[in-house]
Structure 1
């Protein structure tokens, strides 16, 4: 949990929220995100004149991935600027979209971990290569082609195109 104390924010006008979200936090379960160490969070929360709470700052950490071609482990840096806007339900009415989050009516704190999780899931890269020229694995025998070669015959053509190729050659 990464709490934002709304009462203190109201008294002081702005607050700095710093902390870490552990890599093994239940928050990451089911997201496909694997952190290589904790996710560091440095945010500044402030109240706007209209009753909204605006939270801006940076999340910073390392992601554990596997290369999409050779399946070797890869550690990828993640550094992302984030902005969250919270507003009371009565200010929003029924017009709630994904951009503005609802402030809890009776809760003195807002947990910032969930919006951070959502942001990390959205910005985490999905196609990672260990190297731009990674040759991957042999589709027949599974040999890592970055380390060695194999004797498998690589068929360059898809047999479904043979009929079209025959027409072209006539």
Structure 2
């Protein structure tokens, strides 16, 4: 669990923290992302105005995702900067448009950052990874990995609407 002690922040105006979050704390399977090692975090939280605060920091880890062509597991490195402005519910006006996740209430005493860290991992993880540049992928007919074996599936028939283009 990673959280900000809002009472401590009010007393000191600035907090710093660093450490690690175990991969088991995250559930990113539905996004095709697995953490291969603990998430390293370095955070600095400071007041921004009278009632809001700014969270800045760095998160780093190794991710495992599937190759988009052959589905082989591929490891990548994630290192990204955080810059999140949290607005106090007391300071918001009706016309202010702000994501609900970036609102907080001083009365709660603390703010859990796990959801924000998960969101940053999802946003900054590569959208598509490939095991190597020349990956052949899987055969659409039989599912063989074309990097390891040759497929003997017949060529799919060409749509006759494309015949005009084939003859030119």
- Normalising by structure 1, we get a TM-score of 0.84
8 Å contact kept, 2:20–2:40: yes
Structure 2 portions without partners, runs of 5+ = none
What SS does structure 2 have at the residue aligned with 1:7?
helix
Distance 1:7 1:131 in 2: 50
Cα deviation for residue 49 of structure 1 reads 3.0
Match of 1:133 in 2: 134
State which drifts further: 137-146 or 95-104. 95-104
How many pairs does the alignment contain? 167
Cα deviation for residue 153 of structure 1 reads 3.2
Deviations 1:117-142 (Å, cap 9, x if unpaired)? 11212222221100111111222232
Question: What RMSD over aligned residues (CA atoms) do the two structures have, in Å?
Answer: 2.5
Match of 1:163 in 2: 161
Report matched runs for 1:1-170 at 5 Å. 1-25=1-25, 27-28=27-28, 30-94=30-94, 95-98=96-99, 101-155=102-156, 158-159=158-159, 162-166=160-164, 169=167
Distance 1:90 1:9 in 2: 17
Structure 1 portions without partners, runs of 5+ = none
- Normalising by structure 2, we get a TM-score of 0.85
8 Å contact kept, 1:4–1:17: no
8 Å contact kept, 1:39–1:60: yes
Distance 1:147 1:27, change over 3 A: closer
